Amino acid sequence: MMSAHTAHRKLEGRVVIATHNAGKLREMKELLAPYGIAAVSAGELGLAEPDETGTTFLANAEIKARAAADVSGLPSFADDSGLCVDALGGDPGIYSARWAKETGDFPSAMGRITDMLSERGAIEPAQRRAHFVSALAICWPDGHLETFEGKVFGFIDKPRGEKGFGYDPFFQPDGHELTFGEMSSEEKHGIPADGSQALSHRARAFQMLAGKCLG
Ligand code: ITT
């Protein structure tokens, strides 16, 4: 018999997507679409953005999902994500959105990161290793919580492409010639029909979530 700690709960009916980031919202809706879950966004419900006071991606995903579930009375699905650059000690990491706010926009934030790498003499791809992380949390109004984390490794290159969002243009995942900014949604976060691993951090976390909480 399974203990309470290993029993996963299935997501059914209506869910709030607890994000105010349009790029993430689009990806999260696309990921949920095949499962017949009706999704409404935090923005559509006029939900406030909670303070992200956690020190990890998982903690912040939980804060966002819990806040939306408490206020809406619906199961809520949140993502906390970011880009970790090895030569910068893992920055911007959980501060990825903040860096873009501070510099004004994502092109400037990518410029700041690229400049910091150049100042440190990190020119070659091997010196510019980076990974994206996505922590996904689903919280039910009764407090039940499920969390999953996915990562994708690659390196920082010159920004290319206008697809995707955020830091996509200058991140090239290992084993690919294109940056995330040059990839279609299907290439970046499509779920392969043959059961193999998806590419993006968010799609990888979602595959784990789907295995436990959907279908
Ligand atoms: P919410 O908290 O409302 O969801 P946010 O933009 O504040 O929105 P985060 O705190 O999780 O979200 O910050 C994540 C940052 O990392 C944000 O600036 C994103 O644009 C960026 N990011 C996350 N996933 C990304 C991806 O797949 N491609 C490019 N950039 C990404």
C-alpha 30 to ligand 1 mean position (Å) = 16
**Average pLDDT of the chain?**
96
Instruction: Determine if ligand 1 sits within 6 Å of the CB of residue 168.
Output: yes
H-run or E-run covering 206: helix 201-213
Alpha carbon of 143 to those of 64, 146, 151: distances in Å? 13, 10, 26
DSSP per residue, 40-63 = EETTTTTPPPPP---SSHHHHHHH
Q: What is this structure's pTM?
A: 0.96
Return d(Cα 89, Cα 143) in angstroms, integer. 34
Q: In a 10 Å sphere around its CB, with 0-12 CB exposed, 13-18 middle and 19+ buried, how is residue 154 labelled?
A: buried
Residue 179 DSSP code: -
For residue 5, what pLDDT band results from cuts at 50, 70 and 90?
low
Q: What average pLDDT does this structure show over 116-121?
A: 98
User: For the segment 40-93, what is each residue's pLDDT rounded down to a tens digit?
Assistant: 999 999 999 999 999 999 999 999 999 999 999 999 999 999 999 999 999 999
C-alpha 51 to ligand 1 mean position (Å) = 15
Instruction: Determine if ligand 1 sits within 6 Å of the CB of residue 35.
Output: no
Note the pLDDT of residue 2: 46
Active site residues: 80
Q: Are 27 and 185 in contact (CB under 8 A)?
A: yes
Asked if residue 38 has pLDDT above 50, the reply is yes
Return d(Cα 135, Cα 126) in angstroms, integer. 26
For residue 207, what pLDDT band results from cuts at 50, 70 and 90?
very high
Instruction: Determine if ligand 1 sits within 6 Å of the CB of residue 164.
Output: yes
Structural domain boundaries of the chain? 14-213
Q: Collapse the DSSP code of 10 into the 3-class scheme (helix H, G, I; strand E, B; otherwise coil) and give the result.
A: coil
C-alpha 53 to ligand 1 mean position (Å) = 15
Share of the chain above pLDDT 70, in %: 97
Q: What CATH number does domain 14-213 carry, 2.40.50.100, 3.50.50.60, 3.90.950.10, 3.40.190.10?
A: 3.90.950.10
Instruction: Determine if ligand 1 sits within 6 Å of the CB of residue 100.
Output: yes
Q: What average pLDDT does this structure show over 140-159?
A: 98
Q: Collapse the DSSP code of 98 into the 3-class scheme (helix H, G, I; strand E, B; otherwise coil) and give the result.
A: helix
**Residue linked to tokens 């880009």:** 83
C-alpha 161 to ligand 1 mean position (Å) = 18
The protein residue whose alpha carbon is closest to atom 13 in ligand 1 is 97
CA-wise closest residue to 85 among 66, 108, 109: 109
Note the pLDDT of residue 215: 82
Asked if residue 117 has pLDDT above 50, the reply is yes
Note the pLDDT of residue 148: 98
